[in-house]
Structure 1
Amino acid sequence: MAVSTLMFAICTAIYIAIVLFLGYMGFKRTKGTEDYMLAGRKVHPALIALSYGATFISTSAIIGFGGVAANLGMGIIWLVGLNIFFGIFIAFIIYGKKTRQIGQKLKAVTFPDLMGKIYNSAFMQYACGLIIVVGMPLYTSAVMIGGARFIETTFSMDYNLALLIFAAITAIYVIFGGLLAVIYTDSFQAIIMLLGMSILLIFTYVSLGGVTNAHEALSNMASLVPASLASTGMTGWTTMPSMFSPIWLTLVTTIILGVGIGVLAQPQLIVRFMTAKDDKALNRAVPIGGFFILMLPGVAYTIGALTNVYFYEKMGKLAVAAAGGNTDSVIPLYINMSMPDWFVVLFMLTLLAAAMSTLSALFHSMGTAAVNDIWGRWRNKKPSLAETKAFVLIMIIVSVLLAYIMPGSIIARATAMFMGLCAAAFLPAFTHAIFSKKPSTRAAASSLVVGAVAWFLWTAFVHIKESEPLGISMLLFGQNAILPMPWQVVDPLVIALPLSIITLAAVWMVERVTTTKEEDAAEKAI
């Protein structure tokens, strides 16, 4: 389908002009380093919710996980429920309020800064900052790839050029406008995303003969499940895989649990709570955020699975086969083949909005972690605004370079990897920090180290999706994974997070027993 270059150019120019204007508004209202990092701590509830949702839902959800749904079916929709429950309700009502209160009291400006001040520990601040700086570029690159793949498919644009366009436009308003610019642009982009995905859902159901006909047709395709998928547990696109089969373990442990739980420990999302004026603002943000999450990933996963009906009717092929075996290309191909020109342009803007909203938050989080929590902490000096902007630029360049070398079908996996790492390393220590009256620094540090190391070891030596391409296991042990099936498809999160929790509990209990004994001995001596 030929998309009108003039239509695309006009719409894109208007979109970019609005984004840059909002970035300029953020720039004008950013007076110092703290404003740059936390947007003045007085952000409106609607802006918090829309910015949070737009940061959370990116091209990873629309392109990456939409492609996973095309391959593995609608079982992934369980992730939407977890995202709403953990990512919105639990995150805002339980974690968000405590984070806001403590962050404001301690005047913390980043997630590592918050952890360092709660535990009065340079190690905690360094460690959290280092994990962000090392791990977040993986997720950032996956987001850029999602948008670039759609531009490449739609406009026959060079993939490398598409990546540079994404990075350059986003970099302008993030570097100059800080978090307030990010929140303003995120909110605008969230509205575009809601509009685009709503129209996509309606168009898809109309083109497939209605809701009932579309889902019945997909259910009736169960016999067409490829032998390679059927042999590993897949039963159809409207049913869950066989329990504890390799595909079930991948779907449940990596995608549903990895992303569903991992959202609670995302540094770029936690910072949003610290921008709220009061607890009421967080309460008011919940319904808006919940609706946003329902519409964005819910629609993407539903449409992803239904593309099998469309491609089979039009081409006699399943969706992934029609896309040349690359799950990241399913949604772009479906949009280009099935939708009118004007919607292709609208969806292009939807993806631009999804990618840029998440990219801006990730760029900001990486840069501020590098400059404030590593560079600034090492120098024992608060970084200047110029230094902060320079480090944001450095992390943008690192992420772009990484995107050039990432393999195909990587978007969903890279997202799940980063969220799993954050959950294993951060979640127990973060929970302990904000809910314990006397949080133990030793327990938190031990938990963070054990969680991060366990996650890496399982990733490098057991989880076949990563251990095989990494090649470390093959180099050291002569095999791609050191454990047999089904361990090879059990996500690192399922192993690392429990170990992290157990470590924190054990060290904390030992420390409390030791302290009690010392206090008793001191009393007896008196």
Structure 2
Amino acid sequence: MEYIICMVVYLLIMVGISVYTRRKTKSVNDFALGGRSIPPWMSAFSYGTSYFSAVILIGHAGKNGWTFGLSSFWVVAGNSFLGTYLAWKILGRKTREMTQRLNVATMPQFIGVRYKDQKLRYITSFIIFVFLVPYAASVYKGLGYLFQITFGIDEKIIMLIMTVVTAVYLFAGGFLAASIADFVQGCIMIVGIILLVIYILSYKSVDGIANGIHNLKAINPDLIMPMTGKTALPLISLVLMTSLGTWGLPQMISKFYTIKSEKFIPTATIVSTLFAILVTTGAYTMGSMSRLILGNVAPADDKGNIIFDKIIPLVLTQDGLMPTIVLAVLLIVILAASMSTLASLVLASSTTFVMDLVKPVAKDKFSEKQTVLLLRICCILFVAAAYILATGNSPILNLNALSWGVVSGSLLAPYLLGLYWKRATKAGVYISMVSAVLIMIGSVCIFGLNSPYITTMSAASIVLPNLVLIAVSLATKRMEDKHVAYIFNMKDVN
């Protein structure tokens, strides 16, 4: 009964947000950017809830916590400092200033204007729309596993419910609806994560931090080591993929140029960072202690292969771990986190697809009202495609790695170097994007999507294109001085 009450209350809140924001969402600017007037706390929570979903709480925490033990806390440090604090610090102000001045509303628009090539705008929008689908699918799968184990309901039914609810509130209110929902969901997550840590550390087989560490050491001393020769490469890859990777994801970058004012960025930076520390600490506390809670017995298939995606759902539903009402709250936490991330993915992909591919090809023949309707339809199509992909058998972490590797790998170098480096050239952008796609897709073709190397290859596809863009740019002709001066708002090019 507690589950049903919490679920109904949560869904009613989402419906209320839909009704409220529909009256305020009339233009394309309202739907796609929230009128560029999102308050700092809302932007901060929106960044955090878009970042952390069932992918981290179920997929990452389960596999990495079980595999690496306490050394998985390197991911906590990476996500909080590199993925959140430095992202806001280095990208936030510069992104908002340049996108406002250049009158661009999406990453493909920025890249197209920055490098004076509209074909780049079309290519990047296509990459975003297609390759964010696996990420959305990974969000679905994490939630599906949890609710399947908790309620005994087929995961496809749970994912379908999530699809319908997300589609409804996005169809109604767009970015504003997503931002308000993110704030509400962020508040729920804070309460839930604090409760989670308390109950995990007080469970009988953990019995506090000191005893938990001692008990993990008894299982395997490597589980309490900061890093070992065997775990160094996969851990570093994981940190780079999940932390630096956010710098090139359009659903994350949108938080920078939709914030109400540049003066609010320091506040959003601190709030986002604290939120990241709390959520990741809770997730990896649960993951690293999962061996103790499950008696060092992992769920496995008929062939004896560990099903990592089922570890956290089994931990949360362990007898005696927590009262039913607390578990009900935690289920809503994971549902809220997942819907926030899914909403951000849907908005980012649908907005770029319509604004940067469909409208330019149609030569902007759509009216304002028709464009908003098209955006809403694309939102529905995207969540439907993600649902279909999620019904497959690929693990959460691998779907996540594929998506981040292609999307962030293709966009990070053109975006980051485009913000700060005047010497970046169009040729460098093309070659860097090709290198990212070849590394990631090539790895999937050679090793398979379910390969243990997929995270390392994803990290490589995010990092290496930056070096490629620099090398090719230095070897090719500079962009014309007049254009560079326009982009960087200066009189002379140094």
Shift of 1:446: 2.3
Segments of structure 1 that go 5 or more residues without pairing to the other structure are 1-5, 223-234, 469-486, 517-526
CA contact (8 A) 1:363 1:396 kept: yes
Secondary structure in 2 matching 1:220: helix
Note the 1:237-276 alignment, pairs <5 A: 237-240=223-226, 242-243=228-229, 245=230, 247-253=231-237, 255-276=238-259
1:214 matched residue in structure 2: 212
Q: Deviations for 1:31-72, whole angstroms, at most 9, x for unmatched residues? A: 201110000111110000001000000000100111111233
Asked whether 1:427 is paired with 2:412, we answer: yes
Note the 1:366-515 alignment, pairs <5 A: 366-381=349-364, 384-407=371-394, 410-437=395-422, 439-461=424-446, 464=447, 466=449, 491-497=456-462, 499-512=464-477
Note the 1:147-162 alignment, pairs <5 A: 147-162=143-158
Segments of structure 2 that go 5 or more residues without pairing to the other structure are 482-494
Residue type matched to 1:405 in 2?
Answer: G
Select 1:349's aligned residue among 332, 336, 340. 332
Secondary structure in 2 matching 1:236: helix
Cα distance change, pair 490–336 in 1 and its aligned pair in 2 (3 A): closer
Cα distance change, pair 507–142 in 1 and its aligned pair in 2 (3 A): same
Secondary structure in 2 matching 1:242: coil
Name the CA distance, whole Å, in 1 between partners of 2:24 and 2:35. 9
Shift of 1:439: 4.4
2:487 matched residue in structure 1: none
TM-score under structure 2 length normalisation: 0.90
Cα distance change, pair 330–449 in 1 and its aligned pair in 2 (3 A): same
1:361 matched residue in structure 2: 344
CA contact (8 A) 1:249 1:489 kept: no
1:194 matched residue in structure 2: 190
Q: Deviations for 1:176-226, whole angstroms, at most 9, x for unmatched residues? A: 11001000001110111111111010011112322211222112211xxxx
CA contact (8 A) 1:24 1:181 kept: no
CA contact (8 A) 1:423 1:493 kept: no
Asked whether 1:292 is paired with 2:275, we answer: yes
Cα distance change, pair 324–196 in 1 and its aligned pair in 2 (3 A): farther
User: Which of the two has higher C-alpha Rg?
Assistant: 1
CA contact (8 A) 1:193 1:354 kept: yes
Shift of 1:438: 6.0
Name the CA distance, whole Å, in 2 between partners of 1:267 and 1:490. 20
Name the CA distance, whole Å, in 1 between partners of 2:362 and 2:442. 32
Shift of 1:280: 1.6
Residue type matched to 1:258 in 2?
Answer: M
Select 1:203's aligned residue among 178, 181, 199. 199
Asked whether 1:22 is paired with 2:20, we answer: no
Shift of 1:119: 2.1
Name the CA distance, whole Å, in 2 between partners of 1:364 and 1:280. 25
Name the CA distance, whole Å, in 2 between partners of 1:280 and 1:271. 17
Q: Deviations for 1:481-522, whole angstroms, at most 9, x for unmatched residues? A: xxxxxx957722454345422331233222347989xxxxxx
Q: How many residues align?
A: 470
Secondary structure in 2 matching 1:367: helix
CA contact (8 A) 2:241 2:462 kept: no
Residue type matched to 1:332 in 2?
Answer: P
Name the CA distance, whole Å, in 2 between partners of 1:378 and 1:35. 23
Name the CA distance, whole Å, in 2 between partners of 1:438 and 1:23. 45
2:56 matched residue in structure 1: 61
User: Could you tell which deviates more after superposition, 103-112 or 496-505?
Assistant: 496-505
CA contact (8 A) 2:108 2:122 kept: yes
1:318 matched residue in structure 2: 297
Name the CA distance, whole Å, in 2 between partners of 1:382 and 1:493. 39
CA contact (8 A) 1:88 1:289 kept: yes
CA contact (8 A) 2:406 2:440 kept: yes
Cα distance change, pair 455–206 in 1 and its aligned pair in 2 (3 A): same
CA contact (8 A) 2:32 2:351 kept: yes
Cα distance change, pair 39–492 in 1 and its aligned pair in 2 (3 A): same
Residue type matched to 1:452 in 2?
Answer: V
Name the CA distance, whole Å, in 2 between partners of 1:515 and 1:159. 55
Shift of 1:460: 2.0
Name the CA distance, whole Å, in 2 between partners of 1:333 and 1:494. 29
Q: Deviations for 1:328-379, whole angstroms, at most 9, x for unmatched residues? A: 1111111111222111211111111011111111111121122122212222
CA contact (8 A) 1:71 1:319 kept: no
Residue type matched to 2:16 in 1?
Answer: F
Cα distance change, pair 290–490 in 1 and its aligned pair in 2 (3 A): closer
Shift of 1:154: 0.6
TM-score under structure 1 length normalisation: 0.84
1:336 matched residue in structure 2: 317
Shift of 1:121: 1.6
Asked whether 1:84 is paired with 2:77, we answer: no
CA contact (8 A) 1:54 1:186 kept: yes
CA contact (8 A) 2:401 2:455 kept: no
Residue type matched to 1:84 in 2?
Answer: S
Name the CA distance, whole Å, in 1 between partners of 2:454 and 2:24. 48
Shift of 1:395: 1.1
Select 1:11's aligned residue among 6, 22, 42. 6
Residue type matched to 2:410 in 1?
Answer: A
Cα distance change, pair 27–514 in 1 and its aligned pair in 2 (3 A): closer
1:327 matched residue in structure 2: 308
2:484 matched residue in structure 1: none
Name the CA distance, whole Å, in 1 between partners of 2:248 and 2:2. 41
Residue type matched to 1:329 in 2?
Answer: K
Cα distance change, pair 400–197 in 1 and its aligned pair in 2 (3 A): same
